[in-house]
Structure 1
Amino acid sequence: MKDIQKQLITYLLKQNKPVSASEVAHQLKISVRTVKTYIKNTNLLSDREVILSSNKGYLIDKTEARNLLLEQSSIPQFYSERAIYIIKKILVEHQEPDIFDLCNQLYISYSTLKNDLGKMNTTFKKFNLRFATQHDRIHIIGAEKDKRSLLSSVIFEETSSKIVDIKTLGELFNADYVAKISKIIRSFFLDGDYFINDFAFMNLVLHFAILIDRVTKGNYLDSSITGTDYFADETEDAELITRVSSTIEQEFNIRLSVNERSAIYTLFKTNVNYRVKNDYRKLASVVGEGIMLTTNRIIMEIAELYSIDLNNDNFIVPFVLHIKSLITRASLNKANKNPLLDNIKKDCPFIYDMAIFISLRLSEIYKIQISEDEIAFIAIHIGTEIDRQKANTDKLKCILLCPTYLEIEKKIYNYLSITFSENITIDRIVTTYDQIPDYPFDLLITVMDNPQNTLYPYLCISPLQLEHQTREIYNKIHEIQDRKKRRLVFDNFENYFSPSLFYIEEDITREEVIDKLCGEMERLGVVTSHFKRTVFERELASSTSFGNTAIPHSVHMNALQTSIGVVISRKGIVWGSNTVNFVLLIAINKLDKQRFLSIYNAILSLFDNEEFIEMLKKAATFQEFENLVFSYL
């Protein structure tokens, strides 16, 4: 069974009513024809029909589907699955599998297995390891530290669709000693002066589990390892690691070499932070004046470039500590995996862009390479602070109209203010229509059904049983918010889009698309000659494709005029690991950045609409494109 078939079955298992082929195609990013082919092939895998078809769409037999998944999942079907299976056999189960037994277990030929081993030597070349056979048994040849790196990478790869947790590691290793490891880490690193977040905690549990498992079987790190200098450290950190190492030796009845202790010290330095409140002197002593100065400089650059003020203690203290750990990891060519990476890239592209800008600056200053996973952690810090600030700036300004009687207006005010605190502010309470202020506001909330309500955006509610009206109030709030976004697009569409930057293209590459749009923008005087280089620089840092849409751009908002170039390709353009049908190349002038972000989010939301996407593929002119955008907003 192919991966896409598993995704198809998993998606249909979540549905409680028939789903159309086009909806399935949109969710899985494949064509309708491909959906029908995979449904047919899936039904051939079982004696009974697994996916039922009707004029309403497709509905899955959940019992049959689960049985089919269980049956298929037990045997690796593809090269990537077989590679992980073989690596785990050797590094987790500590076997040297016989090649003929392995062929029987995997239901493959000898030539297929030999071909897989050849591919594995290419796939995992970066780990400086080699897969070889000797006396008909498979071995991994290379340094112990590289074998451990390979194993941790494989575990993260295998669990890429979920977060690694204690249960997952307990199934992979011995559950009892995973629980012991967890207890040791909590007792040493979650008390006193130290702090560790959930992602780093699981990273430590995983690497401690690998270390202890390998040492238990007599596999020790050799003396050639490099890392942070445990022996030169005379601080409390080194003393702490000595105590941690002694506890591990006692709990697991093993002996840790000096190199194993140094490895534990490196794990500590790259995952554990200090508890520092708003004490900048202590913070500087922990991370160093250099990192403090660099962080402050980057915060100023973010403010200049994006108009986002990150200069407050709530952001700076945890962020500086994170940057310290990040630099340590990157300097050792290590990176923590981030299970939220794909979601952050897709759902928060501008926040991810800010994180990329920061990563590029850090790479430039400290001569390090920062992975996409680490960039996503930076984005989490930025996004958390932006959400905190937006709590007030994005709220609808409301007027409450309610007569004074038994203090009912206070009851309504309190209910609205608490229940909808993230969405609205009650700017004023009035008792009559002539008290309604003449300054702009977004919504009149009233308990009186009166023709004068129609002079304003309004919502009429009952003063009683307010909790029963929660959904209605939420719907009205979202309606007003969406209307404001649409108004922004209607008012500014012609400023940002133009027929001169609209193309229908087939048989074109990513590089050719960027070159074409940037060249035309430069010819129109929208950007300077340096713009194209910065677009490719951003693309190199992390692909800008999301599903069937790509949004190439520069991290520098220095366009002479804000513009969006559009390319539609029915055939599709290979863009990183995706094939996209739509390209929106964005050039932003810093004076437009705040307004443009709202417009961008409104337009981008259209690309979650399956019907809009299918209609847009058929657009042949700029006018058709404009009409479609307006009709679906």
Structure 2
Amino acid sequence: MRKINQIFSKSGVRVVIRDNKIQVTGNEKDKRRLISHFIMEEAPHHFVDRSLLTQNFNRADVEQIEQIIKEELAPSTLKLNDYALINLMMHLLIMIQSLHHDDTLLSRDAYSSWLNTYDAAIVTKIIKRIENVFNLILNKHEREEIHMLFHANVDHLPLSDRDKLTTTVGDNIVRAMNSLFAEVQHIFGIDLDNDYFVFPFSLHLDKLFSRAMQGSSLNSPLTESLKQDFPVVFELAVFVSFRLSQLLHIPITEGERAYIALHIGAELDRQKQHSEKIRTAIFSPNYMNLNTQLYQHVSKQFEHDLNVVALVNDPSELDKLDVSLLITTVPQASSMAYRVVTISPFMTSKEKSTIMATIEEHRCNVQRNFLRRYFDIYFGEQFFFTLQPIMQRDQVVTLMCDQLERRHIVSPSFRQHVFEREEAAGTAFGTVALPHSVYMEARQTTFSVGIAKNSIRWGERRVNIVVLAAISQNDQQRFMRLYEALITMFSEPQVATALARVRNFEQFKNVVKTNM
């Protein structure tokens, strides 16, 4: 119970036992935020990828769609990152499968233009190739939806065409989605009301509604595997399907629910990947389209580091931003809420270096905060050792593993796996060794620490600090972040020097927390 409350300490909730029942105490907002955290922790990584597409659709269809898109976009200025490509392919494959079952979209009088003339011409060529390859004839509304799909995925420029969306899919779909998103946010703490999800999902929901009105539906072989392999996603999909069925007054079958689960899983995956990036806003006056060009330049240059969530040209909007970094072409006052980096509209090489330095500084702070959060949970006095100069690698590993076994943290096979990992490649970095098993086999995650005043031999190297990691399956996703944080901190010369002087766990703890 103490360990659980240490984990929950920053969330504002506590776990208590009352009348022989475990209860979670705290205000409702904090409880829901905690639920959201757990959902994202369990959310799959790369939920929708090529392998999942080939499981659910004909492999040849998947390969042909990918080939058509890549060949037509190659000579153009339109670009898709891997996530956007897979997301676009998924929607097109669902559309093709639906059309093969004669589920044509209901036509509307309204028609919107989503892309500029140049981009629209490229997408029109893609549509013609899809019609030829898959022997289809798309009506005007279906063609528009493909244009909208490209608009929602290409370059991931923040969209602002919600009015067009209502015209395209109908007011009933938009109202149902708005109600649904509010409920999902209220109950699960998950925000689905963002353009990256809303635009593609509204298209899918519009097609689902059309099928239901025609008395048909899509089947999916993935229902059971989704239920078993991704229970969190499936549970969310069940709720979403149930509420949409009520809001739209239509039946939603298990097969349709599986496709809803694909959309939700892909969105949770996107949010999870983006959560590891720095939430960033760009402030630049809207002059000669320079702000859009800057957005595209920054997004492409730092696509693995920054999640650009807003493109702002009105100073009054700055106070509303929920970001960690503001990149601006107009000097702004410093803020307690986010870092500010001022650049020119054309972003010089020197300015790129400044942004990169800010990113690295932010990463270090995130690592330290992460280590600070979990230090008291994973480190303990009973797993602290003072190492003698005559000791060598195998003796140290044996000493630490013996203690872990006595405490029933690991089984006897753990030490063998640690030695196997060492033989494969040494784990010494400078004066620090971080031995570990390649398997997540500990009953609970525990870090054993050994400090040597005078360095000891570790294979071909000499080290002063040894940190043996025993990781449980539950902490699999945290391991690499902890591993990287420890390497970063212990590799700093002043930290390594200070640690070499410590003689007990309290001194070790003080040095680490002082440098967090």
State whether TM-score is above 0.5. no
* Structure showing greater Rg: 1
What TM-score results when the alignment is normalised by the length of structure 1?
A: 0.36
Larger relative contact order (Cα-Cα within 8 Å, sequence gap ≥ 6): 2
